[in-house]
Structure 1
Amino acid sequence: MYLDPDWATSALLIIDVQNDFASGPSAVAGTADRIPGLARLATSFRAVGRPIVHVVRSYRAGESDVDLVRRAAIESGDAVVQPGTTGADIPAALLPHDLTLDWNLLRSGEIQLIGPDESVMYKPRWSAFHRTPLDRRLRDLGIDTVVVAGCNLPNCPRATLFDASERDYRTVLVVDATSQTTPERLADLELIGVRLRTVDDAVAELSVIPPAPGAHRCEEE
């Protein structure tokens, strides 16, 4: 009753899918392989006018407002996904059009709108809800179901799912659009009520909801 997703009031969160984590010096194994499925998932959300939030992170060499596990490295001058670099960019296949990220806006805690139902948001820690405007944004849009996919399940996607559940959102993980999944990690998430879906599942369930006003449903190629 409280756990099953309502796709008509859902939003897709794509977590930390940036060039450095897909194919750069800090690539997370399996992330690049997930991009085609993520692109298909994003296309399906756009087709029915459901919101998409690309959640990104960034580090400036020498800064200290960083997760503890990498703080020493960043303070000493190491940095990946540095603002303004191609490594920090979102892969083009996931976007509706060419895009230049406004890092000053994003790192100030604001959301960058990139379409009528699509946006980019920066997070300073694991969870997309920690010190971000995400919860307010989702409430304003009438969202009650959070669909998560992206990079490195045991870190940021998992933290985001826990925080979403604590805020009473219905939660979905798209398993084959998320890197670093294992049976044990998925079983742990099911214990807190996360529903597991494949890209095929999500596309099929989205296809039967009424498109939002102004959305243009299209057939998959």
Structure 2
Amino acid sequence: MTETRPALDPRRTALLVMDYQPSILNSLAAAAPDLLDNAATAIDTVRDLGGRIGYVRVAFTDADGDAIPPTSPIAALATPERLRALHADAPGTAIHEQLTPHPQDIVVRKTRIGAFSTTDLDNRLRTAGIDTLILAGVATSGVVLSTLRDAADRDYRLVVLADACADHDPAVHDFLTGKIFPRQAHVTTTARLPTLFTEQR
């Protein structure tokens, strides 16, 4: 935990719900059985307080798959079977039905690990006046780590919801949320999230 608790303005805050899709969540169900419920609670909290919700999913069109250069670390993972499972039209890449976006929410599709590099997310957040991000995502060592580092370089203020993130290796999750993330973000839980906001709608 960082020592100073931030005071978040909901009008300038967005919760990013990242890679919460069946193709990824199914492999984490046993390790983090409360993950979906925690994310749903966080969404309700931020929405009720007047903050924005952003959803990030990873999915590839046929053209996206063909465009992956052989030098990319993604290339080794982009087998035909994997690309079929992560196709933009595959049910497994849809945002989980328990977390269905509202019409006013931001939704982006990415083709790399982090939430920013292959999307217009930064521009959409800036246009909405957002300067603070709350991160929830799977996996902790994947999209959360990559997005946190990139967002910090983009000068966003950051909060990480440790119990709305999970990793295939629980020790890695604990190390990142306990030792690495607090250097650039306030790490907290969904239960404590309401106490970070300065005002309510």
Deviations 1:46-66 (A, max 9, x none): 212311110011135682444
Give 2:129's match in structure 1, choosing from 135, 142, 149.
142
- Shift of the alpha carbon at 1:185? 1.2
Cα distance 1:17–1:32, how it changes in 2: closer, same or farther (>3 A)?
farther
Deviations 1:90-124 (A, max 9, x none): 1111125xxxxxxxxxxxxxxxxx422x1210112
Matched with 2:160 is: 173
Matched with 2:8 is: 6
| Residue pairs, 1:17-36, within 5 angstroms | 17-23=20-26, 27-28=27-28, 30=31, 33-36=34-37
- Shift of the alpha carbon at 1:18? 0.3
Pair 1:197 & 2:188 matched: yes
Following the alignment from structure 1 to structure 2, what is the Cα–Cα distance between the partners of residues 28 and 61? Answer: 27
Normalised by the length of structure 2, the TM-score is: 0.82
Q: How many residues align?
A: 187
Pair 1:78 & 2:78 matched: no
Following the alignment from structure 2 to structure 1, what is the Cα–Cα distance between the partners of residues 51 and 78? Answer: 36
> CA contact under 8 A between 1:60 and 1:74: conserved in structure 2?
no
Contiguous gaps of at least 5 residues in structure 2: none
Cα distance 1:82–1:171, how it changes in 2: closer, same or farther (>3 A)?
same
Pair 1:91 & 2:78 matched: no
- Shift of the alpha carbon at 1:209? 1.8
| Residue pairs, 1:122-137, within 5 angstroms | 122-137=109-124
Normalised by the length of structure 1, the TM-score is: 0.75
Residue identity in the other structure for 2:175: E
Cα distance 1:88–1:71, how it changes in 2: closer, same or farther (>3 A)?
same
Cα distance 1:190–1:57, how it changes in 2: closer, same or farther (>3 A)?
same
Which stretches of structure 1, 4 residues or more, deviate above 6 A after TM superposition?
Answer: none
Give 2:103's match in structure 1, choosing from 86, 111, 115.
115
Secondary structure of the structure 1 residue equivalent to 2:40: helix
Aligned alpha-carbon RMSD (Å) = 2.5
Following the alignment from structure 2 to structure 1, what is the Cα–Cα distance between the partners of residues 155 and 110? Answer: 20
> CA contact under 8 A between 1:59 and 1:74: conserved in structure 2?
no
